[in-house]
Structure 1
Amino acid sequence: MRGMTTAMAIGERIAFYRRRRGLSQLVLAGLIGRTEDWLSKVENGRIDLDRLSVIRRIAEALDVAIGDLVGEPTLLEWTADSGVQTVPALRSALMDYRQITPLLAGPAAPGEAADLNSLEADVSAIFDAYQASRYGYVTGRTPLVLSDALTAVRNAEQADRRRALALLALTYQVAVSVLTKLGETDLAWIASERGLAAAQESESPVVLGSLFRSVAYALHSIGRFAAGVDLVRTAAGVLETHLSSRTDESFLSVYGTLFLTGAVAAARADDRASVNAFLREAEDSAHRVGHDTNAMWTAFGPTNVALHRMTTALELGDVQVAVDLAPTIDASGLPAERQVRHAIETARAYAARNRRDDALSVLLQAERIAPEQIRHHARSRQLVLGWVKTNRGHRDTALDDLAGRLRLV
C-alpha cells in the first residue's frame, strides 16, 4: 500500500479498492447511503472528501482500513535528526517479546542503578521534539529511551519504582503520538496498551490521565470513534475522583485535554450532543487554569479549546463556522505541532469553500514552521495531491514545488 497508491487522491483510492472488491458504484453508494452520482464525483475528484466519519463508512463497506483510503502510513524521510533508523527501529522495540511479561524479561543486572534524573531529561527531550514536529528525531530516539525506561523499572529500588513506571508510561505516550501522526495504527495501539498499564502501576493520576488520552488517540487512528467517546466518558469518571483534591495545573490540563480528545472523537462519530458537552467540560478546565500552558505537554488552555471548537465544526460539516473561526484564533504562542495542526485545519476549511489560493498560502506558511509535519500529515498531503490533480494544464510553481517536497509528484 505504502508505495502502490502513494500518488492517488482519496477518490482514486476508493475507486481502486471498490474495483478490487468487485463492486459497482451503484452498489457501494447504496452500502453507504449515498447516490451513485455522489460517489462518481468523489472518485473523479469533483467532490473533496475529508470528513473522517464519511471515510470510515466507506472503509467499512470496502473492508479496508481508514489508512488505506487516506494514504497512511507514510514513509518517514531520513533526516539529520533520524539517521537511517526510523519507524522499523521503533517497531522492533515495541515488538520485543521481553516486554510482554516480566517472566521473559530476565533478571535485573546486579549493581546497575537507575538514573531517573537522566531518564526524565531524555523523556522531556523526545516530548519537546514531538511538539516541535521533529518526527525523525522522535522515531530515532524513542527506542533508546524506551530501552532505558524498561531497564529503570526493572532495576529501580522500591522507593523509586513508581517514578520509573511513570517515565516508562510517558515514553510510550510519545511513541503513540508520533505513530498516530505517521499512520502506524497497530504499533500505536501496542504502545498505548503498554503505556496505560505502566501508568496504572505508577499510581499517578496525572500520568494515568495522560495515557487515557493516548488510548483515545489510538482508537481514533483505527476509526473507532464511538469507542473513543465511551472511553473518554469512563476515563473522566475515573479522574473525577481526584478533581476536588487536585487543583494543580498539570492535572487540570490533562483532565481538560481528555475532553478535547473526546470532542474530536464525538464529531467523527456524528455525535453533536457529546461534542458540545465535552467542549463545555474542556472550557471549564481551561477557565480554571486561566491561561495557555504546556503542562504535561498538553498545550492546554483557552486557545487549544478554540482550536478544537474549529476542528469539531469541520468534522461535523459546519464548514462556514470553521471558516469564520479560523482567523480569530492566534496559535502563535502554542508549540509548533499545534500551530501547524491549526494551519492544516484552516487550509481544509478554506479549500472546502473553494479558496484554494488562501489554503495553499496557509500550508506554505506552516511548512516553514514544521516541514516534517506538513510532509507526513495525511490531511496536508491529500489537499496538495487533490490540487495537483485538478490543476493539470495550469502551471502553479508554488503548488508544484510543494508537491515535489511532499514526494507527491
Structure 2
Amino acid sequence: MPFELEEQEAIGRRIKRQRLRLGMAQADLAAAVGKSQGWLSKVESGRLELDRTALINRIAAALHCHPNDLISRPYNGAAPDNQWQMAAASILRELRRYDLAPTFDGVPRSSAMLWGEMRRLHRLRDAAANVAILRTLPDLLREARALAEVSQGHEREEAFGVYALCCKFAHTAAHAMGHPELVATTCERAAWAAGLSGDPVLPAVSDWMRVWDMWATADWDDALALTDKALRSIGDEFEHGEPLAVRAWGALQLRGAVSAARANNSAEADHRLGLARQAGDRVDAETGPPIQDRHSLTFSTGNVQIHGINVALEMSDQAKALRLNEEASDEHLATLPNSRRGHHRMDLARAWLWDGDRHRALRELTEAEHLAPQLVRNHPIARATLRRIVYAERASTREQLRGMSSRFHLDDQELFP
C-alpha cells in the first residue's frame, strides 16, 4: 500500500486491535455497523478512509470504546500546540472541587461584571479561539464559584448562571480539541449550576450540551428523547415568545435534526429542520433593541441553513447538500461567526470531494482553515478529508506517470515496484 498516509493506517490498526481485544470476529463488527466484511477489511488495512462522524461513532460504540481512542485525539503537535492541555487540567481541578469552599483571594466581582467576561468568551468562541478560552476559564470558574459562596438571592443565582456558561464554553472547546474527560465533566457541572441559577432556559441549554455528548456513543434515540425533554421544559416560554427560549428551542431542534439524520431517519430530520426554520423566522421578525445572547447559542436562520446542508451529508446526499448551499442566503451565511462558517466550509469540502471535485474540495478546506485554523486543524473530519484528497492526488499522478512511462517504453516494474 504505497499511498496510504500513516494516520489513516493507524486508525484501521486501532480498530482491529480493539476488535481482537474483545474477541470479536471481523464479520460481527461489520454487521454491527451495517457494513460488509470486505468494507471493514479495507478500513482495518488503511485502504479506506473514515470521513463520517456518525460512522466512526457507531464503530466505537460497537467496540465499547470512545471514538477518540480510535482516532487518537487529542492530536499531538509541537510543544506550543500542546500547552492548552495544562489549562484543561486546571479547569478539571476547579470542576472537581465544585462543592468545596472556593479558593479565591480577594473580593469577587459582581455578576454584571462577570457577565461582561461571558460576552468576551462568546467573541472568542465565535472566532474558534479555543486555546484562549481554555486559558481564561480556570480563574473565571473560581471567581464565579466564590461569588456564589458570598452572595444571596438573585446575585447568587446569577453567579451560578455564569458558572454554568463557563462550563458551556469549556465544553465547546474540549470537543474541538478532543478532551473527552473535560467534555463529560463540564456537562455534569453545567447541569448542576443551571439548576441553581434561577434561569428557566439554562437547564435546557445544559441538555443541549448532553445531546452532543450522546452522539459520541451513537445513542441517537436517546439523543432525540433528551432533545424532546428539553423542548418540553421551555415550551411555555417558547409559546409566549420569550426571545432566549425561542433561540434555545431552535438550537435544540437542530440538535434533533442531526440526531435523526445519524439514525438514518430522513423524515424526522427534515421535520426538525422545519421546526428550527420556524424559530429562525421568529428571530428574524423580532423588533426593538438587539437581544443579548445570554446562553451563547448563536441561533439564526443562517445556522438553520448550514445545518440543513450538514444533515444532507449525514444522509450521504452530497448532491442535495450542494444544491442547498446554492439556495442558501449569502446574507444570512455572512452573519455567522467564523466558528460556524469554518464548520460549514468543512462540510462543503466533503460534499465536493464525494462529488468528484478534489480541487474544489481543497479550496473549501483551505477557506475553512483560514476562517477557524484551530478548529479545522484539530477536527477529525477535516483531517480525513485532507487525507482523501492527498491519497487521490497521489494515485492520479501515479496513473498519469504510469501511462506516460508506458508510452516512453520505460520499465514499469523498475519505476513502479
Give the TM-score band, short-chain normalised: 0.7 to 0.9
Corresponding residue of 2:38 = 37
Residue ranges of structure 2 left out of the alignment (5+ in a row): 1-5, 399-417
Corresponding residue of 1:94 = 92
Aligned-pair CA distance for 1:284: 1.1
CA deviations on 1:84-127 (whole Å, 9 max, x unpaired) are: 742333233324476342xx326998x83542232112222122
Code of the aligned partner of 2:91: A
In structure 2, C-alpha distance between the alignment counterparts of 1:238 and 1:213, rounded to whole Å: 12
Contact 2:161 2:194 in 1 (8 A): yes
Aligned-pair CA distance for 1:33: 3.8
In structure 2, C-alpha distance between the alignment counterparts of 1:263 and 1:33, rounded to whole Å: 21
Aligned length: 385
2:316 is aligned with 1:320: no
Aligned-pair CA distance for 1:222: 4.1
344-353 or 317-326, which moves further after superposition? Answer: 317-326
- State the secondary structure of the residue aligned to 2:237: coil
2:157 is aligned with 1:169: no
Equivalences for residues 148-187 of structure 1 within 5 A: 148-187=143-182
Code of the aligned partner of 2:272: F
CA deviations on 1:120-173 (whole Å, 9 max, x unpaired) are: 122221221011011110111111211111111112233411111111111111
Give TM-score scaled by structure 2 length. Answer: 0.82
CA deviations on 1:205-229 (whole Å, 9 max, x unpaired) are: 2333322212222222443332211
Percent identity of equivalent pairs = 28
Corresponding residue of 1:374 = 376
Residue ranges of structure 1 left out of the alignment (5+ in a row): 397-409
Corresponding residue of 1:405 = none
2:337 is aligned with 1:335: yes
Counterpart of 2:282 (choices 285, 288, 299) is: 288
Aligned-pair CA distance for 1:337: 0.3
- State the secondary structure of the residue aligned to 2:239: coil
Q: 1:106 to 1:282 in 2, by over 3 A?
A: closer
Aligned-pair CA distance for 1:67: 1.9
Corresponding residue of 2:356 = 354
Q: 1:390 to 1:21 in 2, by over 3 A?
A: farther
What is the RMSD computed on CA atoms of the aligned residues? 2.9
Corresponding residue of 1:302 = 301
Give TM-score scaled by structure 1 length. Answer: 0.84
Q: 1:392 to 1:211 in 2, by over 3 A?
A: same
Q: 1:273 to 1:91 in 2, by over 3 A?
A: farther
In structure 2, C-alpha distance between the alignment counterparts of 1:77 and 1:140, rounded to whole Å: 18
Report which of the two structures shows the higher radius of gyration computed on alpha carbons: 2
Corresponding residue of 1:72 = 73
Contact 1:260 1:308 in 2 (8 A): yes
Corresponding residue of 2:412 = none
Code of the aligned partner of 1:89: A
Corresponding residue of 2:263 = 269
116-125 or 67-76, which moves further after superposition? Answer: 67-76
Contact 1:152 1:164 in 2 (8 A): yes
Contact 1:70 1:382 in 2 (8 A): no
Q: 1:224 to 1:70 in 2, by over 3 A?
A: farther
Contact 2:281 2:301 in 1 (8 A): yes
